[in-house]
Amino acid sequence: MSSKLIAPSILAADFANLERDIHMVNESEADWFHIDIMDGVFVPNISFGMPVLKAITKHAKKTIDVHLMIVDPDRYIKTFADLGSNILTVHFEACTHLHRTLQAIKAEGMKAGVALNPHTNINVLEDTINDIDLVCLMSVNPGFGGQSFIEHTYNKIEQLKALIQRKGAHTLIEIDGGVTDKNATALAKTGADVLVAGSFVFKSPNQMDTIKNLRSIANS
């Protein structure tokens, strides 16, 4: 079985010391950079935009996993490709023509991800799962870091895993929100492939050790 991956969420980094925090992730055992882009419309918060992503990708040496929490994401697919995104995840709830959006992301040479809000049923991916490289299951309501994990997520992982197997798809399951050392083992055992962790990593005293421990318990 392939390793479970850890993706620190830069939303929880110290923006006044971004270069330092990016180097920390580079030097750590983390696998990906998780980058949250919020527009203040799809979610009730604004994070950061293109110039900041450009500054991040200039220093980041690992996979850039961009999570778009914006309306009408099709407008910016090429922009995010040009800025160095490797994975581009759009929200199911923000896409009227999801199939077209997925093809457009892949046409720009990126992996295509779809995020589902906590209220959105797995069944909505029945007809697109074979076109999706990654499903990001929101385990909090998107918009803010530091929220509590929603326990129902475990049921959704099971349902999603069953769908992926039934359809013979190769989709990765990513969990985003409230991930800590308390739930990482259970999430990995239930079927998560990628764990996003923001506050748990960046608010900890030794961030590199926290990443190392999280990765090791997810793979235990």
Q: Which residue is nearest to Zn ion (CB)?
A: 67
Query: CA 184, CA 65: separation in Å to the nearest integer?
Result: 19
Q: Which of 28, 101, 199, 207 binds ligand DX5 (CB under 6 A)?
A: 199
Q: Does 176 bind Zn ion (CB under 5 A)?
A: yes
Q: Does 5 bind ligand DX5 (CB under 6 A)?
A: no
What's the order of all strands across the beta sheet hosting 172-176? 5-8, 194-197, 172-176, 134-138, 111-116, 87-91, 63-69, 32-38
Take residue 93 and report the two structure tokens written for it.
Answer: 């709830």
Q: Does 94 bind ligand DX5 (CB under 6 A)?
A: no
DSSP symbols for 132-187: -SEEEEESS-TT-SSPPPPTTHHHHHHHHHHHHHHHT---EEEEESS--TTTHHHH
Residue 139: CB partners within 8 Å, gap ≥ 6?
A: 118, 149, 150, 153, 175, 176, 177, 178, 179
Q: How far is the CB of 174 from Zn ion (least distance, A)?
A: 9
Q: Does 12 bind ligand DX5 (CB under 6 A)?
A: yes
Q: Which residue is nearest to ligand DX5 (CB)?
A: 198
Is 109 or 205 the residue whose CB approaches ligand DX5 more closely? 205
Residue 26: CB partners within 8 Å, gap ≥ 6?
A: 59, 60, 61, 62
Is 98 or 196 the residue whose CB approaches ligand DX5 more closely? 196
Q: In the annotation, is 176 catalytic? A: yes
Site track 110-149 with ligand DX5 (rule: CB under 6 A), x = hit: ------------------------------x-xx-xxx--
Q: How far is the CB of 73 from ligand DX5 (least distance, A)?
A: 14
Q: Which of 31, 36, 131, 133 binds Zn ion (CB under 5 A)?
A: 36
The residues annotated with a catalytic role in the active site are: 36, 176
Interface ranges with ligand DX5 (CB under 6 A): 9, 11-12, 34, 36, 67, 140, 142-143, 145-147, 176-179, 196-200
